Amino acid sequence: MENMIHSTVPHVPPVTSVVVSLPVIDMSCSRDEVCRAILDAGKELGFFQAGDGVMQDMAAVGEEFLRLPAADKVDLFSEDVNKATRLFSGTTYETGGERYWRDCLRFAYDFPVGNSTKDWPDKPQRLREVVENFTLLARGLAMELNLSGGYVTLDINHYPPCPNPSITLGLPPHCDRDLIAILVKPVPHAFIVNFGQQLEVVTNGMLKSIEHRVMTNSALARTSVAMSIAPTENCVIGPAEEFPFTMFMVPGLEVACKGDWIKVKPLPQAFVVNFGQQLEVVTNGLLKSIEHRVTTNSARARTSVCKRIYNVVKLGESLNLTTNLKDVQKEV
């Protein structure tokens, strides 16, 4: 469970941070409109926001717990990553790696029905009731998606003011391995939904799992609540039948044009026709055989199918392909 946050394949990180607004989806719209808005958000950003009244209580009770005296929380502190309910700091203490500026209260339980509530904190008094109401989101999603099993992790994250934010992060850049993650804040009374890598696999790349991170600051503390939905440990994950292999289009073909390499954008259910040198000779240069290449990438495999047409002729015979060539040249 501890490894639900992890580093992704090495890449060149963004140079700057910019402020953008995540799409806000009105859940009161029709089902078709909501589904379309979610798909549009998933194809581009991998995040969206939606309103719900449960979020205010969840954020408030999380902050109430964090303000409790240390004596009321000490029994929950544990570095045992297999413990279902625990309080811990950072994310990689057990490996000796970097330490991040975060305290976290984590709940984990079986899905859609769990039996771990007996280990939940009994302070503040309303914590159990509020957390249980919040986890109804997961159970509702389970029924909607026809999920038969798995588990849910619920993190209450606290990022205290940091004396030197320039040398640390709240959380490192990462993608979530889960199906989806639901986070409380920053829009009042709303939550953020983040698509995990499992959902990217299931949709064959149509919905994106986007890398994200948490920053610290020196003036104010920050508290967030994140709920992740994950499958059972032994299940096999693959593209759903509704998302055939042909939808997973990986670019790579480049064509030489006026001194530059032009990237060819792959199109679903289409093929590329390339004129060969024989056709350039037969048309006396009217049709061009253009130099091209295939590039590789570090993230995804690419498969292509190539069919060539050869015409074997005897010396001196015509290919019978130039009957209308003069007419074509006149039109050009």
* Same domain, residue pair 202 and 307: no
Residues 104 and 190 in one domain: yes
125 with 164, same domain: the answer is: yes
- Does 208 share its domain with 95? yes
- Which phi-psi region, left, alpha or beta, contains residue 292 (left: φ > 0; alpha: ψ -120 to 50)? beta
Q: Could you give the angle at the alpha carbon of 299 between the alpha carbons of 207 and 238, nearest 5°?
A: 50
Q: What is the pLDDT of residue 265?
A: 80
pLDDT for the residue numbered 1: 40
**24-25 and 47-51 beta bridge pairing:** parallel
What pLDDT is stored for residue 201 in this prediction? 79
Residues 202, 137 share a domain: yes
Residue 318 lies in a domain: yes
Using a 10 angstrom Cβ sphere, with 0-12 exposed, 13-18 middle and 19 or more buried, the burial of residue 220 is exposed
Asked whether residue 236 is domain-assigned, the answer is: no
The three-class DSSP label of residue 6 is strand
Asked if residue 93 and residue 202 are part of one domain, the reply reads yes
224 Cβ contact list (under 8 Å, min separation 6): 59, 156, 157, 159, 183, 184, 185, 214
Which residues span the domain enclosing 156?
2-230
Q: Same domain for 71 and 171?
A: yes
Give the separation between CA 160 and CA 102, rounded to whole angstroms.
7
258: left (phi over 0), alpha (psi -120 to 50) or beta: left
How do the pLDDT tens digits run along the chain, 332 residues long? 444 444 444 444 444 444 455 666 666 677 677 777 767 766 665 566 655 556 677 778 888 888 888 888 888 888 887 888 888 877 554 455 556 777 888 887 766 555 566 778 888 888 888 887 777 666 665 666 666 666 677 788 877 777 766 666 555 555 555 555 555 455 666 667 777 777 777 777 777 777 766 666 766 667 777 777 777 777 777 777 766 554 456 677 888 888 888 888 877 667 788 888 887 887 888 888 888 888 887 777 777 777 666 665 554 455 555 555 555 555 55
* 69, 216: one domain: yes
Write down the pLDDT at residue 322. Answer: 52
Q: Cβ contacts of residue 238 below 8 Å, gap of 6+?
A: 201, 202
pLDDT for the residue numbered 17: 44
What is the number of domains present in the chain? 2
Contact present, 319 and 311 (Cβ < 8 Å): yes
Please name the helix (run of DSSP H) or strand (run of DSSP E) that holds residue 58, with its range, or none: helix 54-66
Residue 244 in any domain: the answer is: no
Indicate the angle between helix axes 127-144 and 54-66, nearest 10 degrees: 140
* The dihedral formed by the CA atoms of 29, 30, 32 and 35, expressed in degrees to the nearest 10: 40
The neighbour count for residue 296, using CB atoms within 10 Å, is 8
CA distance 227 to 196: 12
Domain holding 37: CATH number? 2.60.120.330
What is the spatial distance between Cα 139 and Cα 133, in angstroms, rounded to a whole number? 10
| 237 within domain boundaries | no
pTM: 0.51
Alpha carbon 176 to its chain centroid, in Å, reads: 7
Q: What is the CA radius of gyration of the chain?
A: 27
Note whether 261 and 212 are same-domain residues.
no
146 and 226 within one domain = yes
Q: Which helix (H) or strand (E) holds 162?
A: none
Q: Which of 230, 260, 278 is the last residue of a domain?
A: 230
User: 189: phi > 0 → left, psi -120 to 50 → alpha, else beta; which?
Assistant: left
Same domain for 157 and 296? no
301 with 161, same domain?
Answer: no
